[in-house]
Amino acid sequence: MTKIQDDILSYREMCDAENVQTLQRGMNFRMNPSYSVILMSQRTNASYQDKIHEDGVTIEYEGHDVLKKAYDHNPKNEDQPEKLPTGRPTQNGRFINAAKEYKENKNIPGLVKVYEKVFPGVWSLKGYFDLIDYKQVHDGRRNVYRFILKLSARQGNKTESIIIEHTRLIPSEVKREVWKRDQGKCVICGETKNLHFDHELPFSRGGTSLSAKNVRLLCIKHNLQKSDKIE
């Protein structure tokens, strides 16, 4: 079964996973030959309005602005661009073209690897998503793009059936509370790498995702040990 991941990575670990020195741009079309990479955030002070839909498997990701250095005024007052002055597509344009190709030709959708910012320097790997659509909307000030991505059955090199309940997902505010409380380390051994958000009482047994009291940080070793003990 495939579900949205919540693997915790440091910024350095995220960069190493993508074989790059730095990863600062939010939209990275075909960073890897087999997939693109986006960096999302649901924090209240985020620059863009990204969100996970209530179905728990769909992400709505806002397109990006022109580079600030390209204008002598605030790019937040400009429509998000599809093309550069040279006529070449921006990152928005490249994602738009991929979504159009999928919809028009019924090809296999483009695969997108998604990371979510939890804190500065702390990221959550959400997994791989299919880029299935896009839209342009007016946000009250300007036109922006919104890209629609759905959790893919293609997680890495594996193809699996998807069975997911959205209530299993842990809200961002709960993650931040748990991270602070557990001081960014496994509550059993103190490990600071390969961390996961774990339901102390498993979701399958009625445990909630909505309270930090039922969520804790575990390293991969102790997370797997716990899974082995659950009948």
Per-residue pLDDT tens over the stretch 87-115: 999 999 999 999 999 999 877 899 999 99
Greatest Cα pair distance, the chain, in angstroms, is 62
DSSP 107: P
Q: In the predicted model, what is the mean pLDDT of residues 5-24?
A: 87
CA dist 182 and 177 (Å) reads: 9
CATH 2.30.280.10 is the classification of domain 7-164: yes
Output 148 or 66, whichever has higher pLDDT. Answer: 148
Among residues 169, 198, 155, 206, the alpha carbon closest in space to that of 59 is found at 169
- Give backbone dihedrals phi and psi of 19, rounded to 5 degrees, phi first: 60, 45
Pick the closest to residue 197 from 89, 144, 208, 205 (CA basis): 208
Looking at the predicted structure, is the pLDDT value of residue 171 above 90?
A: no
pLDDT surpasses 70 at 38: yes
Q: Distance from first CA to last CA of the chain, Å, rounded?
A: 17
Q: What is the pLDDT of residues 203-214, one digit of tens each?
A: 666 667 778 888
The residue ranges of every structural domain in the chain are: 7-164, 172-229
Q: CB-hemisphere CA count at 13 Å for 198?
A: 22
pTM of the model: 0.73
Residue with tokens 């002055």: 85
Three-state DSSP class for residue 83: strand
For the cut 60, the answer to whether the pLDDT of residue 183 exceeds it is yes
Token couple for 86: 């040279």
Q: Can you give the pLDDT at residue 172?
A: 78
Q: Where are the alpha helices (DSSP H) in the chain?
A: 11-17, 91-105, 172-181, 220-229
